[in-house]
Amino acid sequence: ETDQSTPLTPLTPAAPVETKEPVSIAVILPFMLNEETPSKSAMRYTEFYKGFLIAVDSLRSNGAPIHVTAYDTEGSVLKVREALTDTAFRKHNAIIAPDNASQLAILAEYGKNNNVKVFNTFLVRDKSYLTNPSVMHGNLPSVLMYRKATNALMERLSYSTPVFVSFKGENGDKAEFVSALKQSLTDKGNTFMNIEVDGRLESADLRALPTDGNYTFIPTSSRQADLNRIMPGIIEWRDEAVTPMVRLFGYPEWTTFRGETLDNMHNLNTTVYSRFYTHEDAPRTHDIDAKYKKWYGNRMENAVPRQGLLGFDTGMFVIPYLLHEASSYDGVQNGYFFTTAGDGAGSYNDALYFINFRPGNIIEKSRI
C-alpha cells in the first residue's frame, strides 16, 4: 500500500493501468457507539455506512483491493483529532467526512496537507471547497442550484406562459427562486402573469386567462398545505375550459408528497427540480433494497433521502473515482458529476434533476 494518494483532478481521470493500487477509505461519522441507545441520527449514519459496504461488495471484481475503515466521532472534535494521530490513518486515499463544520474543517486541512480527498456529503452549506483543492462538495450549492433550475425552466417556458400563484397576506418560502425566475423572464422579454388568491384558488380566479393558451403554474410556496389549496382549482378550471394546456412546476420538497397530493401532481403533469430522487419501483432500487434486507435483516428507513441509498451511491462513485476510472455516476438515488470550482479550489457536484410526474402515474427523471 502507498502512504499517500496521487493528486487527482476532477473530471479528468487518468487512464486505467493494468496493476491497480489498493484503495483505502476512511468513513468518519457519528455512529455514537458510546450511547446505550443510539439516536435516530446515529442510526441513519449507520445505515449510510451499511449502504456504502454494499457498494464495496458490488465493486470487488474491479481488480484492486478496497479497504474501508470506520471511525466513530462520537460527536467530538477530540475523537477526530485522535483518529488523525493514528499512523494507520496515513494509508487512506479519501475521507468520507461527518456533518459537523468544525470536524470537517479539521479533516479538510488534513486532506490539503496530505493530498487526500475529503468527500463532504452532509454539510450542504459548507464552502470550504471554494478554497481547498482536496474538498469534494457532494451537493450542488443552493445558489448554483437555483440558477441551473431557472435556466433549464426558461427553455421549457419558450412556448408557455408562466403563472405565479401566491396567497394574499402570506409570504411564500420560495421568494428567492421566484424572484430569480421573474428577473430572467423580464431580461428575455418574456411575459408572465401573477395571481394572488385569498384562502384557496378557485376556478373563477382563472377565468380571465384565455382558454386557448398554454400555461405553467408556479406557486411561490413549496408547502404541501399551500399546494393543496391550489391544485383543485387549476384542475377544475382546466376541465371546464377544455382547451388550455396546463402544467405545474415546483420544488424539491414535493418529491416527498403522497396520497391525494401526489395524484393531483400527476394529473397536472408536474415537474420539480431536485438534487436527488429515488424511483421506488425501479429495478435498481429493488435490487439494492433486497440486498440490504438480506445482509442486515431489516429494511432502510423510509426517509428522504434514504441514507442507505446515499451510502451506496457514494461508494459506487468514490471507489471508481479513486481508481482513475470514472468522473461521474448516475446513481439509484444520488448522482455525482463533479466539476472544479476554480483555480486552487476543490470541486462540487453539479448533479440536478427534473422529476416529471406525468398523468397515468408515470415518473420520469432527467438530468439537467
Please give the pLDDT value at position 38: 87
Please give the pLDDT value at position 62: 81
Residues with pLDDT less than 50, the chain? 1-18
State the Cα–Cα distance between residues 26 and 67, nearest whole angstrom: 9
The cell numbers describing 260, all together, are 391525494
Is residue 41 within a helix (H) or strand (E), and if so which, with residue range? helix 40-58
For 93, the domain range is: 23-140+280-351
Q: Is residue 121 within 8 Å of residue 96, measured between CB atoms?
A: yes
Please give the pLDDT value at position 192: 96
> Do 123 and 56 fall into the same domain?
yes
DSSP string, 229-272: TTHHHHHHHHHHH-S-EEEEEE-GGGGG--HHHHHHHHHTTEEE
> Do 206 and 155 fall into the same domain?
yes
Contacts (Cβ under 8 Å, ≥6 apart) of 36: none
- CA torsion angle for 117, 126, 88, 93 (degrees, to 10)? -10
Residue 68, domain member (yes or no): yes
Residue 69, domain member (yes or no): yes
State the Cα–Cα distance between residues 166 and 196, nearest whole angstrom: 5
Count of the separate structural domains present in the chain: 2
The residues pairing with 69 across neighbouring beta strands, listed in sequence order, are 26
State the Cα–Cα distance between residues 112 and 115, nearest whole angstrom: 5
Residue 41, domain member (yes or no): yes
The cell numbers describing 316, all together, are 459506487
User: What is the CATH number for 38?
Assistant: 3.40.50.2300
Residue 365, domain member (yes or no): no
Residue 1, domain member (yes or no): no
> Do 72 and 161 fall into the same domain?
no
Residue 7, domain member (yes or no): no
Contacts made by residues 104-109, CB under 8 angstroms, sequence distance 24+: 104/128, 106/77, 106/80, 106/81, 107/28, 107/80, 108/132, 108/134, 108/135
Stated pTM of the model = 0.90
Nearest to 23 by CA among 65, 71, 84, 86: 65
State the Cα–Cα distance between residues 350 and 187, nearest whole angstrom: 25
Residue 361, domain member (yes or no): no
Of 274, 302, 333, which residue constitutes the final position of a domain?
Answer: 274
Please give the pLDDT value at position 1: 34
- The Cα angle at residue 101 between residues 98 and 107, in degrees rounded to 5: 60
Of 249, 274, 299, which residue constitutes the final position of a domain?
Answer: 274
> Do 266 and 335 fall into the same domain?
no
> Do 45 and 193 fall into the same domain?
no
Contacts (Cβ under 8 Å, ≥6 apart) of 147: 180
User: Phi then psi for 35, rounded to 5 degrees?
Assistant: -90, 135
Of 229, 258, 274, which residue constitutes the final position of a domain?
Answer: 274
State the Cα–Cα distance between residues 188 and 173, nearest whole angstrom: 25
- Give the count of beta carbons closer than 10 Å to the beta carbon of residue 235: 16
Question: Cell 408562466 maps to which residue?
Answer: 162
Q: Is residue 37 within 8 Å of residue 51, measured between CB atoms?
A: no
Sheet holding 161-167, edge to edge: 193-197, 161-167, 214-219, 245-250, 270-274, 353-358, 362-367
State the Cα–Cα distance between residues 6 and 205, nearest whole angstrom: 62
Nearest to 154 by CA among 227, 220, 216: 216
